[in-house]
Each structure stands twice: as C-alpha cells, then as structure tokens.
C-alpha cells in the first residue's frame, strides 16, 4: 500500500520556465511533508518542507503547496535551471517518525 | 561541520554472507535512521534509533538488525544475504529540534 505517490515518473521543462512536481498521499495522520532532491551516486538532499498547519512555504526559487482536503502537495521551481535536473522525492511523516517516500520524479531541465 | 558519513561507499558480497554498514550522524544529532533504496523506487524505512533505543522498525525480515552506540553512530547488519538485498543503503540523522532528515551518500551493496 503506497501511502505517498508520485504519479509522474519524469518531467521535462525548458530552462527559465516553471517546473511543477506533484505528490499525493493517503494517510491523513501525516503532519509534515518534505521534498528531497537526489543526484546519481549521492544521498537525497533536503530541499524544503511544510507542516500540515500551513498551506504554502517558500524558499527562494522553491515553493511547496499543501492541499489537505485533496491530500495533495506540489513543488514549484521558478525559474528552472539546468542544475535542477535530478530525481525529486516527496516524503511525509508523523510526529518525527520515519519518513515515507514516494517513488520519485525525474526532472530534466533543457537549456 | 561534517555531514552524515557512511562507510563503505561500495561493497560486493556473495549470497549467504553477512554485511555491516556504518554511519556517523551530524554532530549533535541523536537520531539515526536507515533506509533501503532499490532502483526505480523511493527509499524504504528499515530502522530508526534515538538515544540508543530503537524507535521504529520497517517491514524488513529479521535478517536485518541495527544498533546505535553511545557516540550516536550506528551500524546496520544484514545476515544471510540474498540477491534482492542489492540496493543503496542510506543513513539519515535528525536533530531534536527539527524534523528534516539529512542523508549520507549511501552504501551501494551488490550481492552476487
């Protein structure tokens, strides 16, 4: 039973445009959501997070939106840069417990 | 400050053997978690330790075990290795104050 789903395995965007990565979850007990970025042969790197009491969090070019009623979150990257090309994982947890990850979306930013 | 460090970075083992993977958390972090990532999937939770006590265990067989030492470093042990244990094993540390987990570069285990 996949509690965190990333239904798009890949996404390609042009440099300078917006990248939107989507994530759905089923467990209503999740209270914290995170996005990680992963390059080949490296561990995941933390990008941005959001608590379930908020609906938006922004950090530079990265913004995460949370829609609790739809159990949906998204990561917006504006403007996209070639260095953003990586696999992006959505993750969630409850009360500082272990993270549950989605299967990832491979983002390719074309110069 | 050093990040999360894992050793070794790569390892090749034969079916039936035993393996020990090591992890040192970020200085000041008392919680360590282990994850397994197979190709095409997201990391799957194996164990979580806080202050040397097991706080959580994922859906993995008893061949997998772990422990945390007084200096908060951790070991993951896998007995009777199977081909399906081939994966990237990730260690993450978390501070008391924050929820974000910070990952090491992982250990790539290949079982032949």
pLDDT over 80 (residue B87): yes
Alpha-carbon gap, residue A29 to A1, rounded angstroms = 15
Q: b/e map of B75-87 (b: 16 or more CB within 10 Å)?
A: bbebeebeeebbb
pLDDT over 80 (residue B39): yes
Q: Which residues of chain A make contact with B42, given a CB cutoff of 8 A? A: 4, 6, 89, 91, 101-104
- For residues A9 and A93, the answer to whether their CB atoms sit within 8 Å is no
pLDDT at B95: 83
What count of other Cβ atoms lies within 10 Å of the Cβ of residue A3? Answer: 15
Q: Which residues of chain A make contact with B56, given a CB cutoff of 8 A? A: 97-98
Alpha-carbon gap, residue A13 to A86, rounded angstroms = 12
pLDDT at A41: 82
- The closest CB to that of B99, out of A32, A41, A44, belongs to A32
Subunit contact A103:B48, Cβ cutoff 8 A: no
pLDDT over 80 (residue B33): yes
pLDDT at A68: 96
- CB contacts under 8 A, A 47-66 vs B, are 49
For residue A49, what are the contacts with CB-CB under 8 A and spacing of at least 6?
A: A32, A33, A34, A35, A57, A64, B99, B100
Q: How many CB pairs under 8 A join A and B?
A: 60
Q: If 0-12 CB within 10 Å is exposed, 13-18 middle and 19+ buried, where does residue B36 land? A: buried
Instruction: Find the closest chain A residue to B97 by CA distance.
Output: A96
- The closest CB to that of B99, out of A41, A43, A96, belongs to A96
Prior bond of A79 cis (ω within 30°): yes
Give the highest mean pLDDT range of A61-65, B1-5, B25-29: A61-65
pLDDT at A38: 95
Please check whether residue B42 touches A, CB under 8 A. yes
Output the average pLDDT for chain B.
94
pLDDT over 90 (residue A45): yes
C-alpha B96, offset from chain centre: 19
pLDDT at B7: 97
């Amino acid at each position: 039973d996949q509690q965190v789903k990333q239904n798009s395995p890949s996404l390609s965007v042009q440099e300078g445009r917006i990248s939107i990565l989507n994530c759905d979850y089923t467990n209503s007990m999740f209270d914290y959501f995170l996005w990680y970025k992963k390059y080949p042969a490296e561990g995941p790197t933390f990008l941005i997070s959001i608590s379930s009491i908020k609906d938006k969090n922004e950090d530079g070019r990265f913004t995460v939106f949370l829609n609790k009623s739809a159990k949906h979150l998204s990561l917006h990257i504006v403007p996209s840069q070639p260095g953003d090309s990586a696999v992006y994982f959505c993750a969630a947890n409850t009360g500082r417990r272990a993270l549950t990850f989605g299967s990832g979306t491979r983002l390719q930013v074309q110069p | 400050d050093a990040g999360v460090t894992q050793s070794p970075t790569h390892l090749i083992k034969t079916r039936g053997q035993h393996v020990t993977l090591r992890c040192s958390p970020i200085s000041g972090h008392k919680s360590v978690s282990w994850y397994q990532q197979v190709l095409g999937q997201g990391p799957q939770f194996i164990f979580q330790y806080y202050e040397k006590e097991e706080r959580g265990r994922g859906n993995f067989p008893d061949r997998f075990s772990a422990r945390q030492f007084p200096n908060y470093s951790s070991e993951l042990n896998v007995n009777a290795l199977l081909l399906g244990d081939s994966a990237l094993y990730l260690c993450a540390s978390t501070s008391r104050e924050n929820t974000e987990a910070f990952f090491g570069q992982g250990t790539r285990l290949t079982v032949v």
